[in-house]
Amino acid sequence: MKKKLKLKSYVLPSLYVCLFIATFYITLIVSNSFTKTQTQEEKENLDYVSETIVEDDQPVIKETKKIIKPYTNEKVSIGKYFYNEKDENTKQENSITYHDNTYIQNSGIDYILEESFDVVSILDGTVTSVTTDDLLGKIIEIKHDNDYVSVYQSLSTINVKKGDTVTQGQIIGKSGTNEMDKDMGNHLHFELYIKNKAVDPTLYIDKELNNNETTESNDVKTEEDTTKSNETKTEE
């Protein structure tokens, strides 16, 4: 008579544990595979944005500049003003040059000082002309943005040449003398043009220049204008 095999008590529980572990790992592998496949399909179906979402961006801060004086020596003073037909008679008389039996209206400002002084560019720009005139002396012309042109006459020395790019405040020469205003002695004759029209430099020097404006009437913002603008905004 054959004996029946009898499994030991710990065999079946061990088999169940092994089966459970095997099932768990198979399920985990299948799940990871499905997740990777789904992620890959989602990536392939994504629409990538190639253009900016926000259009018509506006600058938060408006860039502004100030025209500086064409000299750095604080001892320099005005010897002759720009001629303005609206000025009082006394100032007009000081805005006329007499030469060769002819009265000539001053188209710029004459800055004077006994000793020679450095002459600087009022803005960034490009030197468009360097010449010597029998009456006006050595002359530098610089073109700036917004159709601004600055002219420096009666120079004794010149540090730049035509085509040079200059920066605001860069020394471009030194003051001197000329035959037109011989009695004035050492000086700088400075002229400022906007859209080919001579303007009074005193209305523009040290004033806020809006880079986005191009017309003469809107090019300069005085401190008084700025104060009024701020007061208006406060009331609103």
Average pLDDT over residues 116-136: 97
Average pLDDT over residues 109-138: 96
Phi/psi of residue 180, nearest 5 degrees:
-60, -45
Where is 77: in which H helix or E strand?
Answer: strand 77-80
- Specify the pLDDT at position 104: 76
> Would the pLDDT of 57 be above 70?
no
Q: Which segment of 2-6, 71-75, 211-215 scores lowest on mean pLDDT? A: 211-215
Q: Which domains does the chain have, with CATH numbers?
A: 64-229 (2.70.70.10)
Residues 6+ apart with CB under 8 A from 177: 137, 154, 156, 184, 185, 186, 187
pLDDT, tens digit, for every residue of 137-168? 999 999 999 899 999 999 999 999 999 999 99
Which of 12-26, 63-77, 115-129 tops mean pLDDT?
115-129
> Would the pLDDT of 234 be above 50?
no
111 neighbors 78 (Cβ within 8 angstroms): yes
